[in-house]
Amino acid sequence: MTILDDIESRSAPETGDDDAVIYRHRIATRVTHWTWAIALFFLLLSGLQIFNAHPELYIGKQSGFEFENSVLAMRALQAADGTVGGYTTVLGHSFNTTGVLGVSGPADNPSYRGFPAWATLPSYQDLSTGRVIHFFFAWFFVAAFLVWFVSSLISGHLKRDILPSIADIKALPASIADHLRFRFHHDGRYNGLQKLAYAGVLLVIFPLIIATGLTMSPGMNAAWPWLLDIFGGRQTARTIHFLCMAALVVFFLIHIFMVLAAGPLNEMRSIITGWYRTDKKNNEERQV
């Protein structure tokens, strides 16, 4: 058994049987992974709490109250017969989302709110506590990102395992076909689709959600006014921040699904201890 740097090894060393255990995730990868996991859980639920204080998104520098620049709104609307329903309007198209968005909670005591109680922290409407939670975990999220980025740049993790190579791009059709057949290769290395997903999250969504968060700060607008120019105004930045959140939720669902599909025990062991059991036999079959 040999200790290998992150996912460096192409051919796992012999261990006497068909499997080999490799050191897949170094400490910086594992610590930042779990810091993000915890921070993002609280950032998501407190972020939805903050959103609920004004459950409407706009494009531009300001919110249109006397003109129209709304792209998403969650509202409680009263029909002529007196019944109140939750309606979500996306780019001018309205959907009845009673029970989840706009109006939620028990029928005899409904709440008029954007996201429902089960999706926010605290569960009840409390903007100030939502902000307290959000800005606490934002520091950890950003700190973990800086630690991860610098250490991955130095260790070569970024270039080796995250940025897709030309070979990865060429192999993408095969990689997609493999995924569709649920045929996974446990060689400890990331395939093209994995690299694209991780690069998208780590190098696009994470910096974007941090930068748009900062753009919403009136203090930061004085320090770095160019942030407003990049994102097209504070309200557009708020909308992008929300879309990044939605993208991360989608990533999380796929991420968990793939962990379950690829072998949850082995995957969990590698992201906790670093050690990952490769399936050599499978690899050999692939090369045939």
Partner 1 sequence: MTRFIINRRKFLTIAGVAASAIPLSGCDAFDSLLSGQSPLRDFLASANGLTYRAHRALIGTDTLVPEFASSEIRQGQRPNGSTDPTDTDYLALKDTAFSNYRLTVGGLVEKPVSFSLDELRNMPARTQITRHDCVEGWSCISKWTGVPLHQILDEVQVKSGARFVVFHCYDTMDLGLQGAASYYESIDLIDARHPQTILAYGNNDKPLAIANGAPLRVRVERQLGYKMAKYIKGIELVSSLAPFGGGKGGFWEDLGYDWYGGI
* Closer to partner 1 by Cβ: residue 4 or 39: 39
CA angle 100, 106, 112 (to 5 degrees): 55
Choices 1-9, 10-18, 160-168, 221-229 (CB under 8 A): range interacting with partner 1: 221-229
Q: Is 106 a residue that touches partner 1 (CB under 8 A)?
A: yes
Pairwise CA distance, residues 194 & 7, whole Å: 13
Within residues 41-60, the interface with partner 1 by CB under 8 A covers 45, 50-51, 53-54, 56, 58
Give the residue ranges of DSSP H helices in 165-217.
166-170, 172-180, 192-199, 206-215
Residue 273 CA to residue 130 CA, distance in Å, equals 33
Query: In angstroms, rounded to a whole number, what is the distance separating the alpha carbons of residues 244 and 117?
Result: 22
Cβ distance 117 to 145 under 8 Å? no
Q: Compare residues 151 and 221 and give the one whose CB is closer to partner 1.
A: 221
CB of 30 to partner 1, least distance (A): 24
- Counting Cα atoms < 13 Å in the Cβ hemisphere of 272 gives 6
Given candidates 15, 155, 217, 282, which one binds partner 1 under the rule CB under 8 A? 217
Pick between residue 65 and residue 182 the one whose CB is nearest to partner 1. 65
Looking at 151-159, 171-179, 212-220, 249-257, which segment touches partner 1 (CB under 8 A)?
212-220
Q: How many C-beta atoms lie closer than 10 Å to residue 53's C-beta?
A: 14
- Amino acid letter at 267? E
Query: Smallest distance from the beta carbon of 161 to partner 1, in angstroms?
Result: 32
E strand or H helix at 246, and its extent?
helix 234-262
- Quick one: 123 or 165, whose CB is closer to partner 1? 123
Hey, what are 17's tokens?
A: 């049987």
Q: Is 76 in the site for partner 1 (CB under 8 A)?
A: yes
One residue of 25, 75, 195, 280 binding partner 1 per CB under 8 A: 75
Applying CB under 8 A, which residues contact partner 1?
45, 50-51, 53-54, 56, 58, 61-67, 75-80, 84, 105-106, 109, 111-112, 117-129, 131-133, 135-136, 139, 216-223, 225, 228, 234-235, 238
